[in-house]
Amino acid sequence: MTLTALATHTPEAVRAALAARGWEAEPAWLAATGLHPLLVLVEPITPAEREALVRWAAKAGPDVLTGDGWALIGAAASRLAPLARPDRVPPGLEAVAVELGRWLAGHVEPPRCWAIAGRVLALDHPVLIGVVNVTPDSFSDGGRFDTVDRAIAQAERLLADGCEVVDVGGESTRPGAAPVGPEEEVRRVVPVIEQLARRGLGPVSVDTRKATVARAAIAAGAAVVNDVSGLAFDPALGRVVGAAGVGLVVMHMRGTPDTMDSLAVYHHVAGEVAAELRVMADRAAAAGVASDRIVVDPGFGFAKTPEQNFRLLDELATVVGVGYPVVVGPSRKRFLGAATGRPVADRDRATAVACALAWERGARLFRVHDAALAREALQVAAATSPV
């Protein structure tokens, strides 16, 4: 007799074991997903719901920890699934069953594409988004690409190195950065976007918090709006995106670049970031943005300490559980410098490692300043954990 310990961090280990023993592909994957262990935090929950959940768990087998207004359930997905079935839900747990069913559906069938203006991006592989800052004061490359010719040349380099989207930004959002008026921001980004669109270099994303800038950028050819404020800065931005039918990235940030460092206070950073991103995504949907056009970004470096950034990276699956594709932007951020001691210009290796870790935890899009190293790291990561 031989006992073989299978890896528990991915369903792939069980799928491969079953496939090697004659199972067909789809049943093997469904069984592997069903056996995969899950931890689900349910809150808020009423005392009556908590008692009903404890009684159900005593019969069904999942582990349950409870407290005032919350419950933590630990079990294989197959043991949780009956609780989400309308014909099997115990009395008093109807609301829990509805939310659990929605979450399990997203867990088993995560988003596999992102609809943007004019096309659909497949997410069965790492998608690189190349950053082109046309600003004089960005933390990483301020002033390097602040003419149209230099910006176009940088976009061509990024696309040649494997980027599928070019993200053009005209306002720095580094800590303490001075705000830029919409007229100046339009002056910076629109000529670049027009040239990129005219030359077929894209699709193009515009990094802006302002409806006026987004409208001008979309008219110039932008297919995506990337809002670091998660639609909190300008309430009209969501309506502009929804009406235009472009893609949308909502990023987690608290406050503004001037105030965000003082707001990096969390009890459970991954859980709170996920909850706040869910509110942002709901805000986008209410503004008319189709769900398949929404991507969420946990906002590495925005209103988070280095320690909180690393905890968020390690627990990124919590953000993936919100149910939308996840883009990450760790590129050259301060928290990578805190770990490596490297200056901004020498953090591309650390960026590549962070991207690979994020892929393994469920991110599918990666915003980078230098694509070559990140592409290779992600190719290796994707080879070990295929979608």
Task: List, by residue number, the catalytic residues.
Answer: 333, 367
Tell which residue, 134, 123, 89, has the closest CA to residue 327: 123
Distance of CA 85 to the CA centre of its chain: 29
Give the tokens for residue 172: 């720095």
Please provide the DSSP assignment of 232-244 as one string.
Answer: -S-TTHHHHHHHH
Nearest Cα residue to 151 out of 159, 209, 182: 159
Beta pairing, strands 294-297 & 247-251:
parallel
Contacts of 314 (CB under 8 A, 6+ apart): 357, 361
| Helix, strand counts (H, E) of the chain | 15, 13
Which position has the token pair 């943007």? Answer: 116
Indicate the SS3 state at residue 251.
Answer: strand
- For 126: left if phi > 0, alpha if psi spans -120 to 50, otherwise beta; the answer is beta
Q: How far apart are CA 189 and CA 211, in angstroms?
A: 14
The helix/strand/coil state of 353 is helix
* Cα separation of the two ends of the chain: 33
Distance CA 8, CA 310 (A): 22
On the 0-12 / 13-18 / 19+ scale of CB atoms within 10 A, 214 is buried
What stretches of 208-263 adopt beta strand conformation (E)?
224-227, 247-251
**Distance from C-alpha of 229 to C-alpha of 241, rounded to nearest angstrom:** 14
